[in-house]
Structure 1
Amino acid sequence: MKPKTLALVHTSATLVPIFAQLCKEKLPGVATFNIVDDSLVRAIGARGALTADIARRVAGYIESAEAGGADHVLVTCSSIGPAVEAAAPFVAVPVLRVDQPMADRAVAHGGRIGVVATLPTTLHPTVDLVRRRAAIAGREIEATARLCEGAFEALMAGDGATHDAIVSAALKELGSEVDIVLLAQASMARVVDALPAEERRIPILASPPIAIEYLASQL
């Protein structure tokens, strides 16, 4: 039997090795290939929103993934999530936005859900996704959004320590306000690994491992 093939569409090359390791661990029999365009997020930042022209480009990459032989497509950027959902019906293979399995897990946990992001263009789509997935599941939730101002700029300037400190402070603050926290960007996942055990009083969910675990059940 021909092995399944997973295409991963990224808006940052830094995510390629992170997902490559996860796929190696959890999808050992699945072939993968990557499509990367880091200009997408810059364009969203410049326009202040996910615009129609950017959404068309996202759709084009998903179509290219299908044409490249993908049996399943994973888009690893939350900022373009709405474009991913809009494009999915126009290809013949399943398409997954990276944060959907994470949102579903948080909704199943229920109660007060915190969402942390370093970009407003990522924060709002993720909060919207959580609320919509809760409605589909028939669950009552309260979503609290927290923007880590300055963290993204620090990361882009090569100052990972400042980025991590800002995100860590937000996670610590939210720990007393919510029951579970979602990291809206895959790039924030590394911060959780460095948190002392005493600061992980509530579950903190990162999308990359949860998305790959979900795909393992599908592929």
Structure 2
Amino acid sequence: MSRPTVALIHASQASLAPADAAFGDEFPEAELWHLLDNRLVSDADAAGGLTEELRARMSTLIQYAVDGGADAVQLSCSMYGPVAHDVAAHQPVTVLASDQAMFDHVVALRPGRITVLASLGQAAADSAQRLGDWLAAAGVASEIEPVLVRGAAAAATAGDLDELTRLMAAEAVTAARSAEVIVLAQYSLAPALAGIAAVVDVPVLSAPHLAAGSLASRLKERVS
């Protein structure tokens, strides 16, 4: 049987390597197809949010992936999650928002307190807000604390995994004193997952790892 093809749609070059690594860990049987539009975020920022034109542009990318034979489509940019939700019901294959699998996992855990770690302040606030909305819709009441890990953005951009892991792990140790779950807000932080998880006794969740695991379960009958 042929290997399942997973199309990953990116809005930043920085998410490609973390996605590759996560799928290598959780779904190595998948054939990855990377599609990149590196203006999706900057155009949305310039427009003050998702416009109808930008929604249509992402929808076109998703349709392109489906028409090209993808067995599943995974977005890596959280900003365009609403588009994934809108089009998923109308596509013949699974279409997932960047952190949909991770948010579903948090719902299943039903934690009382969650810490969201991010390398950018806006990413921390945005992820915490969307996670809170997702939990509320599922009837789960959790206290969510967004935390900016200073220096992590520079380390991730430089590809300095040792420094990224050191910074993230130190913040995670502090968070684990009260949090029941730690969430990594961005794909660019996923390479530090193992190092962070090694120093705390609470679950540490990475969106690309959980996305890969979720798609592996959904597509396992296609795996050779």
Gaps of 5+ in 1: none
Distance 2:32 2:192 in 1: 26
State whether structure 2 residue 74 is matched by structure 1 residue 74: yes
Map 1:55-94 to 2 at 5 A.
55-94=55-94
Q: Residues 166 and 213 from structure 1, CA distance in 2 versus in 1: closer, same or farther, beyond 3 angstroms?
A: same
Provide, for residues 13-67 of structure 1, a one-character-per-residue CA deviation record: whole Å limited to 9, x for no partner: 34434434544564455443221223323445x5495431443332221121112
Distance 1:191 1:24 in 2: 15
Distance 1:145 1:13 in 2: 25
> Secondary structure of 1:130's match?
helix
Structure-2 residue corresponding to 1:180:
181
Map 1:22-41 to 2 at 5 A.
22-23=22-23, 26-27=26-27, 30-41=30-41
**Scaled by the length of structure 1, what TM-score is found?**
0.80
Equivalenced residues, count? 216
Map 1:197-212 to 2 at 5 A.
197=198, 199-212=199-212
Distance 2:28 2:166 in 1: 34
Amino acid corresponding to residue 97 of structure 1 in structure 2: A
Residues 168 and 196 in structure 2, CA contact (< 8 A), matched pair in contact too = no
> Secondary structure of 1:200's match?
coil
Q: CA deviation at 1:2?
A: 6.1
Gaps of 5+ in 2: 220-224
Q: CA deviation at 1:207?
A: 1.4
Q: CA deviation at 1:195?
A: 3.8
Structure-1 residue corresponding to 2:222:
none
Q: Residues 167 and 41 from structure 1, CA distance in 2 versus in 1: closer, same or farther, beyond 3 angstroms?
A: farther
Distance 1:54 1:151 in 2: 29
**Comparing 62-71 with 33-42, which one deviates more in the overlay?**
33-42
Higher relative contact order (CA 8 A, sep 6+): 2
Structure-2 residue corresponding to 1:114:
115
Provide, for residues 105-137 of structure 1, a one-character-per-residue CA deviation record: whole Å limited to 9, x for no partner: 222222111111223443344223322332343
Distance 1:196 1:125 in 2: 23
Residues 79 and 121 in structure 1, CA contact (< 8 A), matched pair in contact too = no
Structure-2 residue corresponding to 1:194:
195
Percent of residue pairs identical: 28
> Secondary structure of 1:201's match?
coil
**Comparing 46-55 with 105-114, which one deviates more in the overlay?**
46-55
**Comparing 65-74 with 6-15, which one deviates more in the overlay?**
6-15
Distance 1:59 1:150 in 2: 34
Q: Residues 88 and 125 from structure 1, CA distance in 2 versus in 1: closer, same or farther, beyond 3 angstroms?
A: farther
Structure-1 residue corresponding to 2:6:
6
Amino acid corresponding to residue 126 of structure 1 in structure 2: S
Provide, for residues 135-173 of structure 1, a one-character-per-residue CA deviation record: whole Å limited to 9, x for no partner: 3432221111112345325533x2636554443343232
> Secondary structure of 1:9's match?
strand
Residues 113 and 179 in structure 1, CA contact (< 8 A), matched pair in contact too = yes
Q: CA deviation at 1:73?
A: 0.7
Structure-1 residue corresponding to 2:131:
130
